[in-house]
Amino acid sequence: MMQPQEQSATSAPLDFFAGIGRRAFNFIGELGAVTIFFLHGLFLIFSLPFQFKKIVQHIYFIGVKSVLIISLIGLFTGMVLGLQGYYSLVKFGSEGLLGAAVALSLIRELGPVLAALMIIGRAGSSIAAEIGIMRISEQIDALDTMDINPVRYLISPRIAASIIVFPLLTAFFDVIGIVGGYLTGVVMLQINSGIFMNSIYSSVEWADVSEGFIKSFVFAAIVSTICCYEGYFTHMRPGGFGARGVSLATTSAVVISCVLVLIADYVLTSFLM
């Protein structure tokens, strides 16, 4: 993180523009640092000996432990989509398309995004906090002095696990969500179950599914990198030392990942449409 440089005051408007420029430079510098951090971590996933056991541990922590929350959120999202969709479609007498509406919005959009947001809240924050605490208690320096590459040891397995887990959790979210839509649409609102399922079969194409998956891969990279980065550089944060530094790092890990996920979602959608 670059420190903003104090400039001698010349004149107010010049200062204003200088401030914008400085922030822009900082932002771009930070962006570059995050990218390099990600590529470094990604590259070291494939270094030997392969850290299979550690990746599995993180898959368990990020993935398996998130299944319950993902199913709950997925179920209720699907159910509310069913209700809202029915309410809008029935006005045009086309409630038969409810299955398609629920499935498409889940697979293309809500599945990857909501799953990512839930994982940020559950696993991302704890990744940032754990790595942040390791940083402030010199455990990362200790790894370095033992000639254990801290990026390889701490970051790579988390990135690898995220890339494996995000698409799986997204798929899981989609399926549970469609079940939720089925519950409200068919069981509660009495749409014919055959019509509901058929509209899903006829409207969902492979391109929709792959779009959802591409998104979940990108979100995995964003979330794991940002959360690890914020924790890893806790000590560089201006004004944040010790426990306060870790709390700030965790907060900004969550906030930045959420915002970036939504921005990336828009960008990806507009490219993949």
Partner 1 sequence: MTDNTAKKPFIEFRNVTKRFGDRTILDNVNVSIYRGEITAIIGKSGVGKSVFLKHIIGLMKPDSGEILFEGRPLAGMKRNEWTAFKRSVSYMFQQNALFDSLNVFENIALPLRERTSMKDREIREKVQQKLEQFEIEEVLDKYPSQISGGMQKRVALARALVTDPEIILFDEPTTGLDPLRKNAVLAMIAHHQREIGFTAVMVSHDIPDVFFISNRVAIIENKKVPFQGTPVELEQSDNEVVRQFLLGQESLKDELTGLLTKHELERLLNSELARMGQYQNRLTLILFTINDLKQVREKIGYILEQRLVQCLGMMLKKHFGMIGTSARYDTCSIVTVLPHTDKERAVKHLERLKKEMQEMALLKADKYPKSCVDISVMAGIASTDRPVTIESLVREAKNEQQLMARLSCSGNGVKE
Among 144, 195, 252, 265, binds partner 1 (CB under 8 A): 144
- Residue 233's φ and ψ, nearest 5 degrees, are -110, 30
236 contacts partner 1 (rule: CB under 8 A):
no
Q: Which of the stretches 93-101, 132-140, 159-167, 203-211 binds partner 1 when contact is defined by CB under 8 A?
A: 132-140
Among 87, 141, 202, 242, binds partner 1 (CB under 8 A): 141
259 contacts partner 1 (rule: CB under 8 A):
no
Q: How far is the CB of 52 from partner 1 (least distance, A)?
A: 13
Q: How many residues does the chain have?
A: 273
126 contacts partner 1 (rule: CB under 8 A):
no
Contacts of 29 (CB under 8 A, 6+ apart): 2
Q: How far is the CB of 123 from partner 1 (least distance, A)?
A: 15
Count of C-beta atoms within a 10 Å radius of residue 43: 12
Residue 204 three-state SS? coil
Count of C-beta atoms within a 10 Å radius of residue 35: 11
Q: Which of the stretches 95-103, 111-119, 144-152, 212-220 binds partner 1 when contact is defined by CB under 8 A?
A: 144-152
Nearest to 118 by CA among 69, 176, 172, 59: 69
Nearest to 234 by CA among 253, 219, 221: 253
252 contacts partner 1 (rule: CB under 8 A):
no
Nearest to partner 1 of 46, 147 (CB atom): 147
Give CA–CA dist 29/45, Å, rounded: 25
Residues contributing to the site for partner 1 (CB under 8 A):
130, 133-134, 137-139, 141-142, 144-148, 153
